Structure 1
């Protein structure tokens, strides 16, 4: 290490701090950048916390960001042959899944794991 160069260390934030910052970001009209600045945190760090806690998947396609969002589905099925169909494309790879509606919660968990 050259003399005169400062060693940069990563800051660590407690779970409580992260939860408080994320809760502020969810308030109506809140700006992630403004909340981050108020806490002395880089906005990119807060954005990464939000992605991790949502279990979200962000894909860039044609210059537009598309966000995977979990949807609340009815707990009971109205038709015995009801399915949820999901398509995810990454480059030349296309993943198609057809899942029974009554197992929608299992599909959500499976999808989060696949997209990690």
Structure 2
């Protein structure tokens, strides 16, 4: 009879955990790629992150940094674009968005 192999859990030292979590905290770092580079399942690293790494010294939490935003470019207001086709005849219409109510009235009259 074959005996089933007993799987043992791998243990990782605090220093390695700290190193891996520090690599994951870098901007643009992928937890999956960092974990894979160390031969560790990404789910294990995600668990360490959720746990705050347990007995490890706490990593400095990222802080919010307010960045100034450029004012949006003053683009012209978008237009309403309508294309009507009947057989071989095609009519394209551009209506200013600011006059959307008048466009709706015109469409109602046209479709009566």
Structure ID, larger Rg: 2
Point out the structure with the larger strand share. 1
Q: Structure 2-normalised TM-score?
A: 0.45
